[in-house]
Structures are given as C-alpha cells and as structure tokens.
Amino acid sequence: MIVPRADIGRLVTETFSASLLYLTAFVVNFELILPIQNLFFPEYTSRASLLFLPHGVRVLAAWLMGWRSTLALLPGVFLAFFYVAGPEVFTPSRLAGIFIAVTIAPAAFEGLRLLGVNLAPRPGRMPCWICIMLVGLVASVAGSMLTNLAFGSAPVDYFAYVIGDMAGLFFLMLALMLVFRWMRRFGR
Amino acid sequence: MSEISKLTELRKLMLAMERSLGLEELSPAERDIFYAATELARETGNVQTTGLMEHALVANISRPTFFRALKSLVEKGYLSSCRNAGRGRYVVHARDD
C-alpha cells in the first residue's frame, strides 16, 4: 500500500506539534508548577501534580485527531517519561504508563462514539466544551486507575491524579481561550 | 481534517467556553448583526452589507451604530472581508449554533 506524501507530511506536522506541546506542558508542569505547589503545600509529599497541564494536551489532541493522536503524542510522552525516569523509562511499568498516557483519551472518545455520542469536531456544529471536560474526567479516572495499577502507587495519588488532570485540562482550555481572545482583539 | 480547520475547531471550542463563562464580548448590536450574518451566510457562505441591513434583527439599528458594530465584528475576528467578491461582502467565522 502506498501512503500519499501529503498524508505523511500531515502526520509529521501533527506529531511534531502535538509532541512539542505535550513536552512543553510537561516541562512547565515539572519545573514551574510543581515547585510552586511544594512551596504552598509542603506537607503534601506526593509527586503528583495538582495542575497537570499535559492531560489537557492529551484530551484536546484526541478530540481533534482521534486515534491519530496516539502516534502524534508518542514521541512527546516518551521524552517526558525519559525526562523524569532517565534510562528506567524502559522498565515494564513505565512502558505501560506511556501506553496508558497515549491511548486513554482517544479510547474515551471512541467509547462514547460507540455509545452513540460522537463529539468529533465537525464544520457547522458548535463544540460542547463541557462534554470534552467530561470525557477528560472519564479518561482521567480510567488513566489513574490503570497507572496506579502499573506503578502500585498509594491510594491518595489516585485522587491527586484526577484532581490534577481536571485542573490541568480546565486551565489549559482557559489559557487557550484567553490567547484566542487576545488574537481576536489584536486582529491576528 | 486540515491544520487550519483544526485551529478553527479549537477556536470554536474556546468561543463556546467563553460564552458559557459569561465572558462574551459582543454588544447587543454586534450580537444581532452577527446572528443575522450567520443566518444569511448559511446558503452562500458569505453575506453582503445591503442584505444584512435589511434583515429583521438589524432593521432597528441606526446606520452609524450598524457600521461601527460591523467594523468591530471584523476587528474581533467574527467576520472578515471577502477578498474575492470586493467591498461590502463578508465571511462569517466560527459560531454556527
């Protein structure tokens, strides 16, 4: 089967932009948000972020690209895991974590589609942002359960992951909304 | 879906959020003109100033307010001038509900 050059080009562009956004969100999270979090909640010893922006990137990428987001996010997610774990990224639990991170959001959208609720963007239809937040919640709960299973984390981390994911998704969308408002105001 | 339409869909999503959070930035005149333009553009994809001024939603708006609001809608990115069809014709963006 010959894959048209335009499709390859599109996949490369998608992979580059989605992975770069994921990695940027992850680094901001790790280098900026987590230190601030530790400053304000020193008694909270878990490494889970309470404002996990990468979840927002995952959910929005899955909403826009569907299953293609799995491939598009893979390099970014792998590099993010490598950033934290170094060579231990190749341990089975980390590889499972990478797999969960890239598949959980498109799986949640696909699950809903099979149930008759298709949220995929379409011309001529206004998207439902609350629905996307709800899919984000489903993906987060499922992802947290599976991740905790893979890493054997403490139960408190389970709740921290969900809170962090939802706060991250909401704040990322809020930030995008403000960016688009600013672009409209300055005619970009 | 092309990269441009992905961006358009993302913009639409953020507009929906903006509206739900009560952060919408349109004046009543701008909103009426925008809704009228959306309705008129449904068939042809664009809208002409003269047709827009005759729409029932816009009929009570004075000429100066109409043109001020129209200019503001273009500046805010809700409408844009139709390059191929000359002056007085606009393309409606994003909000299809």
Residue of A126, A130, A170 to mutate for B, most B C-beta atoms under 10 A:
A126
Question: CB–CB of B9 and A127 under 8 A?
Answer: yes
Over chain A, what is the mean pLDDT? 88
- Which among B17, B78, B96 has the least Cβ separation from residue A177? B17
Question: Residue A180: its chain B contacts at CB < 8 A?
Answer: 10-11, 14-15
Task: Report the alpha-carbon angle A109-A115-A119, nearest 5.
Answer: 40
pLDDT of amino acid A7: 77
Q: CA-to-CA distance for A177 and A129, rounded, in angstroms?
A: 11
Rounded to 5, what percent of chain B is helix, strand, coil?
Answer: 55, 10, 35
pLDDT tens sequence across A80-91: 999 998 988 899
Q: CA-to-CA distance for A158 and A162, rounded, in angstroms?
A: 7
Structure token pair of residue A20 = 């770069």
pLDDT tens sequence across A116-140: 999 998 766 778 999 999 999 999 9
Q: CA-to-CA distance for B15 and A20, rounded, in angstroms?
A: 25
pLDDT of amino acid A159: 84
The residue ranges of every structural domain in chain A are 5-42+52-185
Can you tell me the mean pLDDT for B5-26? 81
**Quick one: CA dihedral A20, A26, A30, A36, positive or negative?**
positive
The verdict on A9 touching B (C-beta cutoff 8 Å) is no
Q: CA-to-CA distance for A177 and B10, rounded, in angstroms?
A: 9
Is the domain defined by B27-92 classed in CATH 4.10.91.20? no
The verdict on A6 touching B (C-beta cutoff 8 Å) is no
- Which among B13, B77, B96 has the least Cβ separation from residue A132? B13
Question: Residue B4: its chain A contacts at CB < 8 A?
Answer: none
pLDDT of amino acid A46: 65
Q: Where are the beta strands (DSSP E) in chain A?
A: none
Indicate yes or no: pTM above 0.80: no
Unique residue bearing structure tokens 């797999």: A99
The residue ranges of every structural domain in chain B are 27-92
Q: Is B70 exposed, middle or buried (0-12, 13-18, 19+ CB in 10 A)?
A: buried
Reported as a pLDDT band with limits 50, 70 and 90, residue B42 is: confident
The verdict on B13 touching A (C-beta cutoff 8 Å) is yes
Secondary structure, 3-state, A1-23? CCCCHHHHHHHHHHHHHHHHHHH
The alpha carbon of residue B46 is apart from the nearest alpha carbon of chain A, in Å, by: 14
Nearest residue of A to residue B25, measured between CA atoms: A181
Alpha helix ranges (H) inside chain A: 5-28, 34-40, 53-65, 68-85, 92-114, 129-151, 155-185
- Which among A10, A63, A125 has the least Cβ separation from residue B96? A125
pLDDT tens sequence across A8-19: 888 888 899 999
The verdict on A156 touching B (C-beta cutoff 8 Å) is no
